[in-house]
Amino acid sequence: MWVALARCGASVSRASADDIRGYGLTQAQFAVLDVLYHKGPLPLRALGRKLLVTSGNVTFVADQLEKAALLRRRRQADDRRVIHACLTAKGEALMARIFPLHAERMRAVASVLSPAEQARLATLLKKWGKAVRRTP
């Protein structure tokens, strides 16, 4: 079961990465843009927690996205130690254009499973993941 899950995950990840690369982004860059697009501005630390990456990784990706004018950072007014990441107008426009295309690609990748199978698989994976997190 574990091997099947690992192989499936690798195949799906490869399909996603190939699609994202077509937009001139890395998976990490797309992930940051995706979270900000759907959740709005977030402190870099919270962004890292959502993406399950270190603060150093978030900083590195934020640097890249800032150079591309897709993201900007701003300090929180009441606590200057907290730095928020926000999409720029260019970043917002890019995600508005490419997110639906990527979502459609990923729907196509999953279409081998019926909607009921997809829902069941999602439920089982969530159940398994939560159980593993609770296990010492």
User: Which residues contact residue 59 at a Cβ distance below 8 angstroms, ignoring those fewer than 6 apart?
Assistant: 44
Residue-level pLDDT at 81: 80
CA distance 120 to 136: 26
Give me the number of domains the chain comprises. Answer: 1
When pLDDT is cut at 50, 70 and 90, the band that residue 49 belongs to is: confident
Other CB atoms closer than 10 Å to residue 95's CB: what's the count?
20
Residue with tokens 């730095």: 83
For the domain that residue 53 is a member of, what is the CATH number?
1.10.10.10
Q: What is the pTM of this model?
A: 0.87
Q: What value does the mean pLDDT take over residues 30-53?
A: 90
The lowest-confidence range among 42-46, 51-55, 81-85, 112-116 is 51-55
Per residue in 53-84, pLDDT (tens digit) is: 777 788 899 999 999 999 999 987 888 788 89
Domain range for residue 36?
2-134
